[in-house]
Structure 1
């Protein structure tokens, strides 16, 4: 709490957060909302980003930890510092990355930091149902599937309630899988569905993942079996998550997402 009470304009964790759930009901979220700052992070830090927006309506910035800072992002993306510097009411647009990382991680000292060497394999967003023209509009909310799903069923993960209070346009739920196998992903997505996460959703964004398939079930098939009959657009291999690069996404921002003939674009509006 002291960190958020100081003069800093943003709070950026270095790494980690595996046990962040221990802080959820010990945090005075209302007090944080009285002097809002940018809370930045991703992966396990989603456990804290989500409750901030869900319970208070204050935006949070998903997309970087301190240890991610040395890498250049694709020219199609904004850095989190660019986003955090924007005034209320501003908008920014990002387009899909043409390349992703596919090779195993080396040591920190050996990792290339430049964008041309860091991301070497082609990548493209794709619609779950195969459509060439997909559009969605709504308030962004989401994070790492393995961590935010633990909050479902509590007031800290009440996405349906958040939509009722803050998102008459509906919500765009974005989720990314760290390392859960396809069967676990299917079960977890169904748990979110039963908890009402998609009741007021206008679309879903699923990040790229290298998490394993299981016999007779791929990661994409897990998403299809859990979400295909919702009647809303679902985009796979979106630029968020544990297979870099990932673009900054603002929980609570009003977003417009388009996928036209393989070309993806997202515009985020920083409006109440």
Structure 2
């Protein structure tokens, strides 16, 4: 039976041509895409009003013919949906939500409510399967193939890591996190991120100067979000601008110092070309310079 997914637009408006390219890219992998027309009804910078986005969200989970719910993009607005979600309704037909960036808040909420979630490329990124040089297309193809495999069920993942400072030889715990700015924006709200005990917290971001990244991380640290975490792992920070010569890892290490958390970097996860998927909340193991999620 061919794979089918429900496409949703829970956050910012996406150019229609980018949506069309993403759908064609998914079709090239044999994926059928379901969505109610029109996918978007722009409201300011949002894909649609809150009410329309919520209706689309519930309809995506209600669709008996799809095996996953895929966000077309991130941006802004996903947090507006959380207090209107009927979680019992979703649980009647559980299926993984796929996305990242602003969708981080929805991934975390799905996990909290016992629903599967995949931190991975948004649907519009599938347009990259159809253009660009062979090397770029191969990277994108691998990421989407890995994501499709995770829709079908647990699959082993293995990613490189670079340790900073002295770190324990082995760390094992649930893998959570996502976009740093999005997580920081939730501090002090009912949907605030709180790392589970022993968590391996992945952080990534895009287009932010280093001082804003430091401010966001300071919010998480001093808001208690990382109190129970076992480690922080940095993905990519695409287009994030430094101040002087200080590396981002040094800034992060200094900000994490009150918690004494081990720090790793180099994960191929984030807003750049490399954005390999992972199962939100799955048990991961850090050892020998690798993050492995066995199944």
Bucket of the pairwise TM-score, normalised by the shorter protein: 0.7 to 0.9
> Counterpart of 1:231?
260
> Counterpart of 1:203?
231
> Counterpart of 1:188?
216
Find the aligned partners of 1:182 and 1:264 in 2 and give their Cα distance. 26
> Counterpart of 2:187?
152
> Counterpart of 2:173?
138
SS of 2:224's equivalent? coil
Larger Rg: 2
Q: 8 Å contact 2:183–2:193 — kept in the other structure?
A: no
Residue 135 to residue 53, structure 1, CA distance change in 2 (3 Å): same
Bigger relative CO (Cα 8 Å, ≥ 6 apart): 1
Map 1:21-32 to 2 at 5 A: 21-32=79-90
SS of 1:127's equivalent? strand
Q: CA deviation at 1:193?
A: 1.2
> Counterpart of 2:152?
85
> Counterpart of 1:73?
139
Residue 74 to residue 242, structure 1, CA distance change in 2 (3 Å): closer
> Counterpart of 2:293?
267
> Counterpart of 1:179?
207
Find the aligned partners of 1:152 and 1:181 in 2 and give their Cα distance. 20
Find the aligned partners of 1:146 and 1:202 in 2 and give their Cα distance. 20
Find the aligned partners of 1:66 and 1:82 in 2 and give their Cα distance. 15
Find the aligned partners of 1:57 and 1:265 in 2 and give their Cα distance. 24
> Counterpart of 2:162?
126
TM-score (norm 2): 0.69
1:47 to 105, 111, 116: 105
Uncovered stretches (5+) of structure 2, i.e. residues with no partner: 1-57, 130-136
Is 1:20 paired with 2:67?
A: no
In the TM superposition, what whole-angstrom CA distance separates every residue of 1:77-103 from its partner, at most 9, and x where no partner exists? 6610111112xxx4513233xxxxxxx
- Once superposed, what is the RMSD of the aligned Cα atoms? 2.5
Q: 8 Å contact 1:205–1:235 — kept in the other structure?
A: yes
Number of matched residues?
226
SS of 2:266's equivalent? strand
SS of 1:51's equivalent? helix
Q: 8 Å contact 1:76–1:95 — kept in the other structure?
A: no
Residue 46 to residue 221, structure 1, CA distance change in 2 (3 Å): same
Residue 179 to residue 268, structure 1, CA distance change in 2 (3 Å): farther
Q: 8 Å contact 2:100–2:120 — kept in the other structure?
A: yes
Residue 40 to residue 19, structure 1, CA distance change in 2 (3 Å): same
Q: 8 Å contact 2:230–2:261 — kept in the other structure?
A: yes
Find the aligned partners of 2:229 and 2:166 in 1 and give their Cα distance. 20
